[in-house]
Amino acid sequence: MTARNPDPADPLPWLREICLSLPEVTEKLSHGSPSWFVRRMFVSYADHHHGHPHRAFWCAAPPGVQSELVAEDPARFFRPAYVGHRGWLGVVLDGTGPDAADRDEITEIVTDAWRCVAPALLTARLDG
């Protein structure tokens, strides 16, 4: 049996690591995609979802963030199908990687998404 060589350009492993580093997060498949929950879903991976040309993730976002980031950089951020009307943010992952700058930005976006969904007691625990 030959071990599979992981695709070094695949952002899923490091996105998973970021999500699972937050308190009480679980991973489940939702609509066939890896998704992360803290009681409710806060991030879902979207690998070329319905013909979308990119690997991306969708996440909960604080009020106004979706419109701000989409206007600022529409090549990186978008309004995702199905959940965009609720303020969720789409984040293109193609061309990003686990280097420090990308990881810091993605960690901040994912943490903000977690805060949008997590119970107050958990956010207080994260804030220490």
- Kindly indicate the confidence band of residue 1, based on its pLDDT and cuts at 50, 70 and 90: very low
- Helix (H) / strand (E) element for 116: namely helix 100-117
- The secondary structure of residue 79, as a DSSP letter, is -
Predicted local distance difference test score (pLDDT) of residue 4: 59
pTM: predicted TM-score of the whole model, two decimal places: 0.88
Q: Are the CB atoms for 79 and 52 separated by under 8 Å?
A: no
98 secondary structure, DSSP code: S
Query: How many Å apart are CA 19 and CA 14, to the nearest integer?
Result: 9
Q: Which of the following CATH numbers is that of domain 39-127: 3.90.1150.30, 3.40.630.30, 3.40.50.1220, 2.40.50.140?
A: 3.90.1150.30
The pLDDT tens digits of the residues spanning 19-53 come to: 999 999 999 999 999 999 999 999 999 986 666 66
CA 29 to chain centre: 14
Q: Where are the domains of the chain?
A: 39-127
DSSP string, 22-63: STT-EEEEETTEEEEEESEEEEEEEESGGG-SSEEEEE---T
Q: What number of other Cβ atoms are within 10 A of residue 27's Cβ?
A: 14
> pLDDT digits over 61-83, tens only?
999 999 999 999 999 999 998 89
Q: What is the pLDDT of residue 96?
A: 64
pLDDT band at residue 111 using 50, 70 and 90 as cut-offs? very high
